[in-house]
């Protein structure tokens, strides 16, 4: 046996295949497992069914029915937002769905994620707390805080809470009323814990003079120029955020002279659209029944029921650990 044959056998492995057979085997491996690779076809992507929002509150039905098309109407009549989809629907820019033009979508920012612990009889239980802010950079801001076992669930829950806590921010001018409002209308102070934040109007072009946390909140609220002053333990980021949010929330609680004139009180939406609300309720009830009849929706419902049972069991186990005396009939 010559040196060339020995070298080929050493290179081509234990089977000692010739060069041609080795190349054919490589081509088959690229196609798949032998000749079966030729019969394979790319799997078609399954189209995920989009979750359709079926409102469960009267306000939600009026919003989805197109009878309320702006978030300002909610604040005008002090209507409580109990579904985060209401905020998403009103701020959506999709023209095909029939939303109002010119809306700016909501932007969100995760400000803080921190682990928290609770001492139980079985040991320490660690969860994660997320603080999220959301705003449209046009006079609306919201803050949400949520605890969960996993970070992603804490962020999702905090975002939903922030949408429910969305409030208007009153903006104004420093000096002459030229152009669009660029700063806050008056001096306001907010407080949470030991942290106190004071917002002061600033001339146009000043920018936001303050800490990065305050600057981010004011930017999402649509305030371009502002002086800030803070006191207390501002290293506690959660209290710092809540104090700034409280200051912006107070901007509409001050009655300035330009609001002293008499305003015509319009009819309340619940009484104005009472008959249409009943029709929408029946319509959405049929949609809900049709959606629950689908297998995919039934699976989602079962998953939600399972999650609810799991949460109840966690609550009862926590109560039992704390010695609250929850009786489960001998079963847990």
User: How confident is residue 226, by pLDDT bands cut at 50, 70 and 90?
Assistant: very high
Query: Which distant-in-sequence residues (6+ apart) come within 8 Å of 291 by Cβ?
Result: 52, 54, 297
Q: What is the pLDDT of residues 201-213, one digit of tens each?
A: 999 999 999 999 9
> What are 226's strand-pairing partners?
201, 208
> What are 188's strand-pairing partners?
199
Q: b/e per residue, 51-84, with b = 16+ CB within 10 A?
A: eebbbeebbbbbbbbeebeebebbeeeebebebb
Q: Determine the Cα–Cα distance for residues 150 and 123; give it in Å rounded to an integer.
A: 18
What is the pLDDT of the chain when averaged over all its residues? 80
User: 80 to each of 57, 76, 164, 285, 309, how far by Cα in Å?
Assistant: 10, 11, 9, 22, 28
User: How confident is residue 43, by pLDDT bands cut at 50, 70 and 90?
Assistant: very low
Q: Which two tokens stand for residue 175?
A: 């000096």
Query: Which distant-in-sequence residues (6+ apart) come within 8 Å of 126 by Cβ?
Result: 115, 116, 117
Q: Which two tokens stand for residue 241?
A: 């955020």
Q: For residue 87, count CB atoms less than 10 angstroms from its CB and return exposed for 0-12, middle for 13-18, buried for 19 or more.
A: buried
Mean local confidence (pLDDT), 166-179: 92
Range in 42-56, 82-96, 184-198 the model is least confident about: 42-56
Q: Is the pLDDT of residue 38 over 70?
A: no
Q: Order across the sheet with 167-168: list the strands.
A: 107-120, 123-135, 140-148, 167-168
Residue 317 DSSP one-character state: H
Distance of CA 108 to the CA centre of its chain: 7
Closest CA to 62 of 287, 274, 289: 274
Does residue 288 or residue 209 have the better pLDDT?
Answer: 209
User: 286 to each of 60, 122, 165, how far by Cα in Å?
Assistant: 16, 48, 30
Q: Is the pLDDT of residue 323 over 70?
A: no
Q: Determine the Cα–Cα distance for residues 35 and 11; give it in Å rounded to an integer.
A: 25
Range in 98-107, 112-121, 228-237 the model is least confident about: 98-107
Q: What is the pLDDT of residues 265-278, one digit of tens each?
A: 889 999 999 989 88
Q: What is the pLDDT of residues 2-26, one digit of tens each?
A: 555 554 554 444 444 445 555 555 5
What pLDDT sits at residue 30?
Answer: 52
pTM for the whole structure = 0.71
What pLDDT sits at residue 324?
Answer: 46
Does residue 36 or residue 161 have the better pLDDT?
Answer: 161
Q: Determine the Cα–Cα distance for residues 285 and 291; give it in Å rounded to an integer.
A: 10
User: How confident is residue 288, by pLDDT bands cut at 50, 70 and 90?
Assistant: confident
User: 293 to each of 70, 286, 301, how far by Cα in Å?
Assistant: 33, 11, 11
Q: What is the pLDDT of residues 59-72, one digit of tens each?
A: 999 999 889 988 99
What single string gives the DSSP state of each residue in 82-102? --HHHHHHHH---TTTTPPTT
> What are 104's strand-pairing partners?
none
Distance of CA 92 to the CA centre of its chain: 14
What pLDDT sits at residue 257?
Answer: 87
Q: What is the pLDDT of residues 114-161, one digit of tens each?
A: 999 999 998 999 999 999 999 999 999 999 999 999 999 999 999 999
Q: What is the pLDDT of residues 233-259, one digit of tens each?
A: 999 999 999 999 999 999 999 888 888
> What are 133's strand-pairing partners?
109, 143
């Amino acid at each position: 046996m010559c040196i060339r044959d020995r070298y080929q056998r050493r290179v081509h492995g234990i089977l000692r295949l010739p060069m041609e057979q080795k190349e054919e085997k490589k081509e088959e491996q690229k196609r798949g497992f032998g000749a079966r690779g030729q019969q394979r076809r790319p799997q078609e992507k399954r189209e995920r069914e989009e979750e359709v929002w079926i409102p469960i509150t009267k306000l939600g039905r009026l919003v989805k029915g197109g009878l309320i098309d702006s978030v300002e109407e909610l604040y005008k009549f002090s209507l409580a937002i109990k579904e985060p989809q209401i905020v998403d629907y009103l701020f959506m820019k999709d023209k095909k769905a029939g939303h109002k033009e010119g809306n700016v979508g909501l932007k969100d920012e995760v400000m803080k994620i921190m682990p928290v612990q609770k001492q139980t009889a079985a040991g320490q239980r660690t969860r994660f707390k997320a603080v999220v802010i959301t705003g449209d950079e046009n006079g609306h801001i919201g803050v949400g805080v949520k605890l969960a076992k996993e970070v992603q669930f804490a962020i999702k829950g905090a975002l939903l809470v922030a949408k429910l806590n969305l409030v208007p921010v009153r903006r104004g001018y420093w000096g002459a009323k030229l152009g669009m409002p660029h700063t806050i209308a008056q001096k306001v102070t907010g407080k949470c814990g030991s942290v106190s934040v004071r917002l002061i109007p600033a001339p146009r072009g000043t920018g936001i003079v303050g800490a990065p946390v305050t600057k981010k909140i004011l930017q999402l609220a649509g305030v371009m120029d502002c002086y800030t002053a803070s006191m207390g333990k501002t290293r506690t980021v959660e209290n710092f955020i809540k104090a700034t949010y409280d200051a912006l929330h107070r901007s509409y609680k001050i009655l300035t002279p330009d609001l002293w004139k008499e305003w015509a009180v319009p009819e309340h939406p619940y009484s104005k659209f009472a008959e249409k609300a009943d029709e929408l309720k029946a319509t959405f009830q049929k949609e809900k029944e049709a959606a629950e009849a689908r297998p995919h929706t039934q699976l989602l419902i079962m998953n939600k029921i399972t999650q609810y049972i799991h949460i109840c069991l966690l609550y009862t186990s926590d109560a039992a650990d704390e010695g609250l005396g929850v009786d489960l009939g001998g079963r847990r």
